[in-house]
Amino acid sequence: MQTHDAEQFRGAALPAAVVTAAAVLIAGLAAGGQGAASALAAGAVVTAFFGVGHLVSSRVADVAPTAVMAVALATYAVKVLVLGVLLVLVGGSSAVDGTAFGVTVFAVTTTWLAARVRVFARLRLFYVDPVPSVPAARVSGPS
């Protein structure tokens, strides 16, 4: 993993963790232990969703840069499938406070994306490989 990948991950994961902690506290006060557990689970799901995608994409970029988009799309499809199965299994359960879960998912997702955009905007990354600046040879032709 390159340093800018790690910086992007840290820059998004730390604010997301702070929002998750705040959501756990608020949900715990509002809905008790079930709300706090639901908020914690929601923060973990969002962090895993974005973290796995970032980790896989950055690893593939180091090995085969041309395959990043295909792998990112495949990873996304698998994550959506897993999330769908998770929601079907847990969605009807009385063990999860749906309000705390949903609000926390929204808050942590928004925070993760905003923080990631902020970190990326501050990075100075080349979008092309820099070429060493060597004076070009003059070609003399008919004038």
Instruction: Please give the pLDDT value at position 142.
Output: 65
Instruction: Please give the pLDDT value at position 130.
Output: 65
pLDDT in tens, 40-95: 999 999 999 888 888 888 888 778 878 888 888 898 899 889 888 888 887 777 88
- Give the Å distances, CA to CA, from 74 to 10, 24, 25, 43: 24, 32, 35, 23
pTM (two decimals): 0.76
Q: What is the mean pLDDT of the chain?
A: 84
Dist CA 12 CA 123 (whole Å) = 13
Instruction: Please give the pLDDT value at position 46.
Output: 92
Residue 117 tokens, joined: 């955009």
SS3 call for 130? coil
Q: Please tell me the number of Cα atoms within 13 Å of 116 on its side-chain side.
A: 16
